[in-house]
Structure 1
Amino acid sequence: MKYVLTSFCLLIVISGYSYGAQYPEQVDSLCAVADHLYKRSAYDSAKLIYHEAMAIVEERADSSKMAEIWNALGSIAYYQNDFPEAMKFFMQYMRFIELHGEGDEYVKALINIGSVHQWQNNLEKAKTFFDKALAVSIENDDLYHAALAYQNIGVFFWIKEMRDSSLVNCRRSFAIFEQLGESIRAARLASNIGILYGEIERYDSAIVNHKRALQVFEKEEDRFSVSKASNNLANVYLLSGKPNLAKPLIDKGLSIGKETGSFSLQKISYENYLLYYQMTQLPDSIFSVVDKLMAVKDSIMNESTTEQINELQAKYESDKKEQEIANLSLAKTNAEARRNIYLISTLTIFCIAAFILFWFLYRIRKNRQLKQKEELIVKQQFQQYEFQLKTYTDRLVEKSIRIEELNHEIELVKNDISGECPSYNGTIDHLMQSTILTHDEWMEYKKLFTQVYPGFFNSLRKSYNDLTDTEERLLALSKLNLQNKEIASMIGISVKSVNKSKYRLRKKLKINPEDFEEIVASF
């Protein structure tokens, strides 16, 4: 949202300056602002200003500047996952380059188009463009773009699961980048090569490449990449049966993830912790890590949903601003028309009436669109609450199943040690009888449930004012169409007990068994 407002203000300032300036300075000033916003990932704002610049350039028929803007608009569309739009601009840019014979720019255009095809899963078309880019780069002794072509060909073979061919091309790309002193690019390739070696279980080679990447990232102080490289190396150690070497690396990766607030880095670390504790056979730690991993996954999903809602809100605010500007412009036009009303002819009066009618219809259409967007935002928020409730329910069911599995394992351990350490029996029994759906978890669950079904509990109390908390809980879980087995797992009782509780509840509420689900669904 802040980028939209910033770009709107900058557009007014720069446009005011550019119309007073001479060409091409006016276009250069607009492109400078657009470039700045593009680098800050404010793609919608950058695109708006690039189009403003394009309108000026088209009037001048400056094909060179148009090509430059086509390439920029293609890059924005690519990062916004609008691949048809990206393909259109990249193809226009490539046709211009073909006519003017700029070798390195031509190779760059080929690689960009190949990348779009690859994201669209047109793999063979992508390979054709990458091969052509490689041939032109080698012909022109352009090592940098040859390395990029090798890298993209390596990714192509990786997607096709032809790992040996992928390794050959990735190693060639790595060697060239290392020769050119492109340490960061070389380190990222080394990391990919390490992953490839890990997939074919050549762990020693994988370790060498992950260590190489980690050293470069630490030297460059790229903390995000250090965390990923540490976890990649830790994963190889775990797969190769060396958990003690993996633990410090996982600790480092998680520490950076928490410091930077990156949930994706934390997720990778917790997944490695889960594998580590499974190998070292520490069930208590496994349970703790599973809880943390589920929480991080929930945070990632909430982050994604929030970002989508923010994008919709930003688009809504932008359209609203455009509508206000249009309304002001139309109001000004009407004021001028009223000042000259006595001087215009009958024909002009008729034109004004037609214009006002058009304006009225235009405002109705725009207001309808704004209302639809507001309804869409409300719908998105409801879907978010509904998803959070489902996620929380799934998490509780998963946790309950895990507790049952651990109880089974604890029962086995109890049988093994009961003769040697009888004093442990009470502690183990207490652990096995721990409540699965705690009071705090139920309150959080009830909060989410109320957001999705806001009138449920009030309607229940209004119809049946003598319900207990346990009966309310049973009716809420039934509302979600959970099976008796799932309800039993969440509450911590047997399926038989759930059936008895439902029977007593139906008897108390005087409800027939065949009408129970329909009545619960009606609240």
Structure 2
Amino acid sequence: MPLKYFLINAMVFAFLLGNLPGALCKPQPREEPFADRYGFFDVVKQFPDSSRIESARNLYKNTCRKLAPAEAMVKLNQLTALARDIRDKKLECAVYDMRADYYSVNDNNVNPKSTFYHVQAINFARENKMVVEEGIYLHRIAIYYFIYKQNTKAINYILRALDAFKRAGYSKVPDIGLYFFEIADFYYDTGDFDNARKYALESLKYKIKNQRLTINTINTIGLIYRHKHDYGKALSYFHEALDLAKTSKDSAWIGISTGNIGSVYFMQKRYNKALPYLTVDYRQSIKYGENFNAAMALLRLISISIEQNKLNDARQYLDIINSLKSKRLNYPEFRTDLYKLKSEYYEHTGKIKQALDFRKLYEAMADSVKLQYSQEAIERVKLKFEQEKYQQLIVNLRALAAARDMRRNVIIGFVILIAIIIGLIYNRRLIKAKTEGDILKGENKRVDQELKNAEKELLNYTQSIDEKNKIINGFKDKIEQLNVQFSDDKKNEQLNNLLRTHIMTDANWAEFKRLFGRVYPGFFQRAKDKYPLISETDLRLMALTRLEIDNRTMASMLGITSEGVKKARQRLRKKIDLSSDTSIDSIVSQL
């Protein structure tokens, strides 16, 4: 921190501790004529924008909360004046929230004034297009309702806050990790463990200034998995919380995390592993005055002692619970478990009357707890309905916005289309006006040249087609002559004329195959059926062999050497598995 701000902080704390009364009471020359109007908030304007609101809030908490309503509001008026004079809209918005906090803390309940100022903060942020602040104050009114158990109202504001945070971008919201944790805490408290885990995990993605809050978040995820009986994951998160607590040397959280680990082993009935953890939890809780946590650890120790028939230990633990003081010890859930254990203890010690008495108390309390659970289930259904209603509202709003955008786009498109049509008409008239003179001559010259090029291409193409037709017709004439019953010599002469045609290319080979097929129908198919491993090159070799072409001529036609032809024959022999005393010529002649 820069020295300047360190000194300013020191002055604030000195003032709060009452160490500067004389200095404050003496008249001091002031450079600013309006400094008196800010009162003790005058020091706030010295802080940078990034920490001004936090400093003002801390000063408010340590002073204004303790004042009478009229005096507190006067002081906050001074802070509002300061915010306006230095043009700090965010600070001005925060003052509304401080007013809401004042009435909430002092009335200790939901009240019209707190609600009014919470809404004022939200509206001010929205009017000044401060999306981040809008989300923050939507969140703060949600927590306000949550603290006083008005969860239906709280969920509505939580969903609106989340929507604002999303619009602003989570990374742009200061302390977003804290807000996600508080949302997770709300869902955990209302029994929506899936959403609780979702936002607790989301909280861990962002750096939280308070290390204890990070430990609490990790511990909460462990509690969720414990509730779902996923003990492996629960232990993993509890151990992570414990390691972080040890690193931070946070004794309270060391005790809590240790107890939670013990509770998992207890639920798994791994009592020998649970005992040391539960014992540490009990001792740490007593040390730091956490009587309810100590009592919960004792309940588990009592259950283990009864299970292991260590009744004296169970008696001692019961006596300790009776000596502890805490409002939470009167909660129905705790009393239900305590009465059940007392009934089991007296049953094991043979005191049947006392066992029956506590059994009746247990059953009566259990019915009360079931009724409470039913009411909580109804509350969860209401919250679920509120979430679905809000989500449907968002869907409807988006649909309306999309329809509005579509109408706007249609109108804009129509206007653009009209403009284009007018432009085209104008441009057409302009072009028509310019078609005289050189423009018209140039266009005619270009059209004439394109016509000449087209005629030349057509002529070349016609000549090419004519030449190809002559070659094809020559092949056809030769094949027709082969169909006439000539002598062997005459047929051979005709075939020789055919084979003088070059057949190396794929196109020529295809034509050759067609012509060859007319002389020797089915030759290629029979060859493939009998020798499925042969290739297209092998077929060419076999076809030329069938025509009794010598190796040199064959080489010329195939575009290879005579030696290449010999090697091709050898490969063919291997493919068709031909014995040494059988020639390729004889095999081919039989196809």
Give the TM-score of the pair, scaled to structure 1: 0.49
- Taking structure 2 as the reference length, the TM-score comes to 0.44
Tell me which structure has the larger Cα radius of gyration: 2
